[in-house]
Structure 1
Amino acid sequence: MVGLGSMIGAGVFAAFAPAARAAGSGLLIGLALAAAVAYCNATSSARLAARHPQSGGTYVYGRERLGPFWGYLAGWAFVVGKTASCAAMAMTVGAYVWPEYTRATGVGAVALLTLLNLRGVQKAAWLTRAIVAVTLLVLAMVVVACLTSADAERLEPFPDAGWYGILQSAGLLFFAFAGYARIATLGEEVRDPARTIPRAIPAALGIALVVYAAVAFAALLAVGADALAATTAPLDAAVRATDWSAAAPVVRIGAAVAALGSLLALILGVSRTTLAMARDGHLPRTLAAVDPGRQVPHHAEIAVGALIVLLIAVADLRGAIGFSSFGVLVYYAIANASAMRLRSDENPPPRVLPVLGLAGCVLLAATLPWRSAAWGAAVLLLGVVVWFVRARFRPRPADAA
C-alpha cells in the first residue's frame, strides 16, 4: 500500500501528456520500457534493502557499497529529483482543479501542506489506503468511460515516433514508477524487512504497471495521441470526449486527491532526507534543526517548500517531470551499481538485472527532453562541486586536534 500510494498519484494523471507529445501512441512501448528498467531497479533495491534495512535507501547503499561520495550523490539526486516531483504534483493539482491558474493553485497547495507538516501532521497509513482506493476507483471509471465511448479512435499499430521519441517517452513515464523507492526506505519500520521488502516492491510495481497500461490504452483509444499531447490534464480530456463527459468533475477531484496525497508524502520524504544529509554535514547544518515541541525538521520543511515554489515559478509541467526523472534515474543508476557489489553470499540479484538497470537508467536520462537533461546535469554537477569544496576545506584530524 505504501508503494502504490507513492506510485499511483500525480504521475498517472499527468505523465501521459508529455509522453504522447514525444512518441504518440508509441508511448505504450515507452511504458513497457520504463517498467522494464523499473523492474531491474526494484530488484536491485529490494536485495540491497534486505542487506541494509536501515532508513535512507540508496543514500545508504551507495555509501556502504561504493563509498561516501556515491552515497552523497545518490542523496543529492534524490532531493533534487523528488523536489521537482513535488513541483510537478503541485502543478498537476492546478491543471485539474483550476487550469487557468495552474501555478498559483500549485503554490497554494505547497504552502498549505508545508504548514500542515510544520504542525506535525503526517499522512497516516489509513489515509494512504483511502487515497489509493479513491484513485483506483476514479481510474477504473476513466477506463470504462473510454472503452465504452462511441467515438473511440483506432490506435496506430505502427507508431512513427522513432526510437528516440519512444525512449524519451519511457524516461518521462519513469516519473510515474519512482514511488517504490519509498518502500526501500522503510527498512527500520517493518517486521522482517529481509522478507517483506523484496516481496512488496515487485508486487506494487506489477499492480501499478497493469493500472497504467489499462489507463494509457483506454485514453489513446478514446481521443488519440494528439489530443493527449495537447493538454496538461490528459485524463480529464479523455473523459470529456466520451459519453461520460458529465463525470469529468469526478476525474478532476480524483486527480487532486491523488496528487495532494502524493505531494504530502513526498514533502515529508524530501525534508527527512534533507535532515539526514544536513546531520551528516552534506548540507548546511541549519537544515538539521528540529522543532523541540512538534519534533519536525522545520528548517528543512521550509527550505524544501521554498524550492518547490521556485520550481513551480520557472518550470512548466513537462519540464518538471523531465527534471524529476533525470534526478531519480541517477539515483537508481547508483542503486544498480551498488547491487553489483553484493557478494555471492549476500543473495545478490541475477547479474544481468543490475547491469541492464544501470544501462537503462543512463540511456533514459540521456534521451529526456534536452532542457530537462541539461538542467538536471547542471544541478548534479553543482552537487559534485559542493562535495569537493567541502572535502578541500574540511579540517583534517590533525588540524582539529
Structure 2
Amino acid sequence: MSNNNNEMKKELGMGAAMATVVGCVIGSGVFFKPTAIYTATGGAPGLAIIAWVVTSLVCLCAAMTFAEIAILIPETGGMPVYLKKVFGDRVGYLCGWMQTVVFYPGLVAALAVAVANQAKLFLGDGMVVPVAIVCIIIMVALNCMGAKVGGAAQTIFTVAKLIPLVLIMIFGFIRGNGNPIFDPMLGEGLKFGSVLGQLMIAVLFAYEGWTNVGAIAGEMKDPGRDLPKAIVGGVALIMAVYIIINLAYLWVLPADVMMNLESPASAVAMQIFGNMGGKIVSVGIMISAGGACNGFILSGSRTALYMAEQGDLPGSKALSKISGTGVPINCIFLIGILGAIYALTGQFDLLTNLGTFVGWVFYTLTFAAVMAYRKQAPDLKRTYKVPAYPVIPIIAIISGLYVLLNQLFMAGPDARKVAVGGIILVLIGLPVRAIFTKKKAA
C-alpha cells in the first residue's frame, strides 16, 4: 500500500473501530448545536425533535448503505477510493481533495473551537483561538505516536465523553421542570420545508464522523468482520443517545431559552448540578470535543496519505512518508496545520456548516456508488449487503439531495453563501488535478 519501507500496521480491532465511529461522532454537535437548531425554529421545540428523529433515521440508512462498499473495498483512504473505483479518477480525486483541504481540517478546527468555547468557563473570553490551536497541537502529537496510541486515546476519549451524556440523561429527567417537548411545533412566520432543511444540516453535523472508520480500514485486523458492526452498531447507539439527551435538555430548559445560549449543554448541567457540578460536566464536554478532534485528525491524515500516494497533492513524495511508529506523520501535520489556519476564524457554526455541506455532496455520491457497483460487479462476493435493497440506499440518496438543494435554494442567503463557497473550494481541485496530471504525463 505504501511505497515506503515502513508500511501501515494492521493494529486496530473492533474496539478501536467502534470507538472511532462513536468517538468522532459524539463530539460537540450534541452539546452546542441546540442553539442553532432552536434559533432556526424560532424557539419552538416540536419540529426540532422531529428533525432529530428523522435525521437520525436518515443517518442509519446512510450507515447501512455505506457499510456495503466500505467492506468490499477495505483500503486506507475511504470514500475517494470507493468513488474512484466506481465513478472514475476525477470524482475520486475531487472527493479526496475535498476531504483533505476542506472537510477534515475544517471540522478539526470546528471541534477545537468548541473545546475553546467551553474553556471560556474557566479562562474567560479572548482565548478562543489560542486554546483551539493548542488543542490541535496536542491531538497532532497524540496521532504521531502511532495508530495504536491514537486508537487507544480514541477509546479513552470515547469512554470519558459518555460520562457527561449519561449524567445529563439521567438527572435531567429527575431534576428537570418538564417543559413542553412538541408544543409549539414551529415559530410564527416560518416555513416548514426550509426550516427542516436547516435543522437537518445542523443535526447531520452532530452525526458527522461515522464514515471516518472507512478511512482506517487498511489498518484494521479484520475489516470484513468488524466494519459493519462498527458502522451500523455505532450509528444505532448514537441515535438512541442523541434523541434521549435532547429530550432531557428540553425537560430542564425550554427551547426559547436554549436558542440564546452559547453552550446550552453546560447551562443544562449547571441547572441540574449547580455551578461546581456544571463545571465538572463541562470538562467532560471539552474532553468529548477534543476526542472527536483527535478522531478527525486520525482519519483525515489517512485520506491525505492516499492522495499523496497517488501523486495528487503538492509535496506528495514527502507526504507519503510513513514514520517509524507506522503513521503518515507529514499528512498528520498537514491536516493539523490546515485545521489551525481554519481555527483562526473562531467560528464554530460557519466551519461545521461548510464541512457538513461539502461532505454530504460526496456521501450522496457514495450511496449512489453502492447501487452502481451492484451493476458493475454483480458476481462479487458480498459478506454484507444493505438490508431492504434498494429502498434503504434510495432513502439515503433522496435525503442527501434534499439537504443539499435546501442549502442552495431554500435556506436563505447565509446558508447559500456557505454552500457556494464550499462548491468553489471543491472545484479548485480540478485545475490542481490538471497540473499534476500533466506532471505525471511528463
Q: TM > 0.5 between the two?
A: yes
Contact map agreement 2:35 2:262 (CA 8 A) in 1:
yes
Tell me how far apart the structure 2 counterparts of residues 379 and 5 of structure 1 sit (CA, whole Å): 25
Tell me how far apart the structure 1 counterparts of residues 73 and 347 of structure 2 sit (CA, whole Å): 37
> Structure 1 residue aligned with 2:288, among 258, 276, 280?
258
Tell me how far apart the structure 1 counterparts of residues 129 and 178 of structure 2 sit (CA, whole Å): 32
**What is residue 164 of structure 2 aligned with on the other side?**
138
**What is residue 395 of structure 1 aligned with on the other side?**
438
**What is residue 358 of structure 1 aligned with on the other side?**
397
> Structure 1 residue aligned with 2:334, among 270, 287, 303?
303
1:322-401 residue pairs with structure 2 within 5 A? Answer: 322-343=353-374, 344-346=378-380, 347=382, 349=386, 350-368=389-407, 370-388=413-431, 390-391=433-434, 394-395=437-438, 400=442
Task: Percent identity, please.
Answer: 22
Contact map agreement 2:179 2:254 (CA 8 A) in 1:
yes
Tell me how far apart the structure 2 counterparts of residues 32 and 236 of structure 1 sit (CA, whole Å): 23
**What is residue 215 of structure 1 aligned with on the other side?**
245
Structure 1: which amino acid aligns with 2:403? L
Output the TM-score relative to the length of structure 2.
0.82
Cα 1:393/1:109, change in 2 over 3 Å = closer
- The answer to whether the aligner puts 1:9 opposite 2:35 as a matched pair is no
Tell me how far apart the structure 2 counterparts of residues 332 and 42 of structure 1 sit (CA, whole Å): 10
Cα 1:271/1:19, change in 2 over 3 Å = same
RMSD over aligned CA atoms reads: 2.6
Tell me how far apart the structure 1 counterparts of residues 436 and 147 of structure 2 sit (CA, whole Å): 39
1:83-102 residue pairs with structure 2 within 5 A? Answer: 83-99=105-121, 100=125, 101-102=127-128
Contact map agreement 1:91 1:312 (CA 8 A) in 2:
yes
1:98-117 residue pairs with structure 2 within 5 A? Answer: 98-99=120-121, 100=125, 101-117=127-143
Cα 1:366/1:108, change in 2 over 3 Å = farther
| Secondary structure of 2:241's aligned partner | helix
1:37 to partner: Cα distance: 2.2
- Structure 1 unaligned residues grouped into runs of 5+: none
Contact map agreement 2:146 2:325 (CA 8 A) in 1:
yes
Deviation string, structure 1 residues 120-159 (Cα, Å, up to 9, x no partner): 5864444333322222222111122321225342224341
| Secondary structure of 2:272's aligned partner | coil
Cα 1:190/1:385, change in 2 over 3 Å = closer
| Secondary structure of 2:438's aligned partner | coil
1:178 to partner: Cα distance: 2.3
1:392 to partner: Cα distance: 6.7
- Structure 2 unaligned residues grouped into runs of 5+: 1-17
Tell me how far apart the structure 1 counterparts of residues 241 and 324 of structure 2 sit (CA, whole Å): 42
> Structure 1 residue aligned with 2:173, among 144, 147, 150?
147
Tell me how far apart the structure 2 counterparts of residues 380 and 336 of structure 1 sit (CA, whole Å): 19
Contact map agreement 1:77 1:380 (CA 8 A) in 2:
no
**What is residue 35 of structure 1 aligned with on the other side?**
56
| Secondary structure of 1:395's aligned partner | helix
1:246 to partner: Cα distance: 3.8
